[in-house]
Amino acid sequence: MKHFKKVFKGLMARFFITYLLVILFPTLLICNLLYTDNLKQSHFVYINAKRESLVSDQNYIENNFLYIEEKVNLFNNAAGLTELLDENLSKEEDVVYTFLKDVAPITKLSQLNNPYIKQLKFYTPNKTAVRVLPQFLSLDSLYNENISAQFKNDPSKELFKHFWRVENVNDDLQLTYYAGLMNSQISKVNGALSITCNSSLLKLFLNENSPNTATYIYWNGQYIYSYQNNDVFSNYLNSVKKSLISNKNDTYVFLDEKNGILQSSIYLKKQNINIIQLSKLPSGSFNTSLFSSNILLFVIVFLFSNIIMFLLVFYPLHNVSSLARHMRQTHSPKLLPYSGKITNDEVGELIVEYNSLVERTIDMSETLHRNELLLKNAQIETLQSQLNPHFFYGTLESIRMIAEYHNETLIAEIAYAFGNLMRYSLSREYFVSIENEIDVVKQYTEIQQKRLGDRFSIRWNIDFSVNDWKCPKFVLFSMIENVIVHDVEHSRKKVNIDVNICQIGNDLSITVTNDGPGISHDRLESILYLRDHPEERKNMSSRNNGRSIFNINDRLKLYYGDDYQFSITSQENVLTVCNVRFNIEPQNPAKQ
Contact (Cβ atoms closer than 8 angstroms) between residue 211 and residue 278: no
Query: According to the model, what pLDDT value does residue 399 have?
Result: 66
pLDDT band at residue 15 using 50, 70 and 90 as cut-offs: very low
β-sheet bridge partners, residue 513: 498, 577
Strands 495-504 and 456-462: parallel
Measure the CA–CA gap between 132 and 209, rounded to whole angstroms. 45
Q: 306-331: per-residue pLDDT in tens? A: 555 444 545 555 666 666 667 666 66
Does residue 252 sit within a domain? no
Q: What is the pTM of this model?
A: 0.45
Asked if 445 and 573 sit in the same domain, the reply is yes
Asked if 34 and 101 sit in the same domain, the reply is no
Measure the CA–CA gap between 415 and 288, rounded to whole angstroms. 91
Strand, helix or coil at 370? helix
Does residue 287 sit within a domain? no
Asked if 433 and 507 sit in the same domain, the reply is yes
Asked if 519 and 380 sit in the same domain, the reply is no
Asked if 353 and 461 sit in the same domain, the reply is no
Does residue 422 sit within a domain? no
Segment 416-430 mean pLDDT: 68
Does residue 264 sit within a domain? no
Give, as one character, the DSSP assignment of residue 272: T
Segment 568-575 mean pLDDT: 91
Long-range contacts of 209-214 (CB under 8 A, 24+ apart): 210/279, 212/279, 212/280, 212/281, 212/282, 213/277, 213/278, 213/279, 213/280, 214/277, 214/278
pLDDT at 9 exceeding the cut of 60: no
Rounded to the nearest angstrom, the gap between the alpha carbon of residue 3 and the centroid of all alpha carbons in its chain is 81
pLDDT at 209 exceeding the cut of 80: no
Query: According to the model, what pLDDT value does residue 185 have?
Result: 60
Does residue 403 sit within a domain? no
- Number of domains the chain contains: 4
Asked if 465 and 567 sit in the same domain, the reply is yes
Average pLDDT along the chain:
77
Does residue 151 sit within a domain? yes
Strand, helix or coil at 434? helix
Q: 335-394: per-residue pLDDT in tens? A: 777 777 777 766 677 777 877 887 887 777 777 766 566 556 545 555 555 555 555 556
pLDDT at 288 exceeding the cut of 50: no
Asked if 95 and 32 sit in the same domain, the reply is no
Contact (Cβ atoms closer than 8 angstroms) between residue 515 and residue 495: yes
| Closest among 133, 112, 113, 109 to 121, alpha carbons compared | 133
Asked if 492 and 534 sit in the same domain, the reply is yes
Query: CATH number of the domain that 514 lies in?
Result: 3.30.565.10
pLDDT band at residue 509 using 50, 70 and 90 as cut-offs: very high
Query: According to the model, what pLDDT value does residue 576 have?
Result: 93
Mark which of 197, 224, 243 sits at the end of a domain: 197
Asked if 441 and 576 sit in the same domain, the reply is yes
Does residue 256 sit within a domain? no
Question: Which of 211-220, 280-289, 435-444 is predicted with the least confidence, judged by mean pLDDT?
Answer: 280-289
Strand, helix or coil at 102? helix
Measure the CA–CA gap between 399 and 571, rounded to whole angstroms. 33
Measure the CA–CA gap between 490 and 483, rounded to whole angstroms. 10
Q: 19-37: per-residue pLDDT in tens? A: 566 656 776 677 677 767 7
Q: 454-467: per-residue pLDDT in tens? A: 889 999 999 888 88
The dihedral formed by the CA atoms of 183, 188, 193 and 195, expressed in degrees to the nearest 10: 120
Mark which of 142, 169, 197 sits at the end of a domain: 197
Asked if 454 and 354 sit in the same domain, the reply is no
Query: According to the model, what pLDDT value does residue 123 have?
Result: 92
Query: According to the model, what pLDDT value does residue 502 have?
Result: 93
Query: According to the model, what pLDDT value does residue 405 have?
Result: 63
Measure the CA–CA gap between 391 and 419, rounded to whole angstroms. 12
pLDDT at 11 exceeding the cut of 50: no
Asked if 382 and 444 sit in the same domain, the reply is no
Mark which of 152, 181, 197 sits at the end of a domain: 197
Query: According to the model, what pLDDT value does residue 230 have?
Result: 77
Does residue 459 sit within a domain? yes
Query: According to the model, what pLDDT value does residue 501 have?
Result: 93
Measure the CA–CA gap between 317 and 282, rounded to whole angstroms. 48
Strand, helix or coil at 553? helix
Measure the CA–CA gap between 589 and 130, rounded to whole angstroms. 64
pLDDT at 298 exceeding the cut of 70: no
Asked if 23 and 122 sit in the same domain, the reply is no
**In terms of pLDDT, which residue wins out, 240 or 543?**
240
User: Which residue range is the domain that position 570 belongs to?
Assistant: 429-583
Question: Which of 36-40, 192-196, 413-417 is predicted with the least confidence, judged by mean pLDDT?
Answer: 413-417
Segment 267-292 mean pLDDT: 72
Query: According to the model, what pLDDT value does residue 8 have?
Result: 47
The b-or-e profile of 268-297 (16+ CB within 10 A means b, else e) is beebbbbbbbbbbbeeeebeeeeeeeeeee
Query: According to the model, what pLDDT value does residue 238 have?
Result: 83
AA identity, residue 52: E
Distances (CA, A) of 398 to 394, 401, 406, 408: 6, 5, 12, 13
Q: 35-57: per-residue pLDDT in tens? A: 677 777 777 888 888 888 888 88
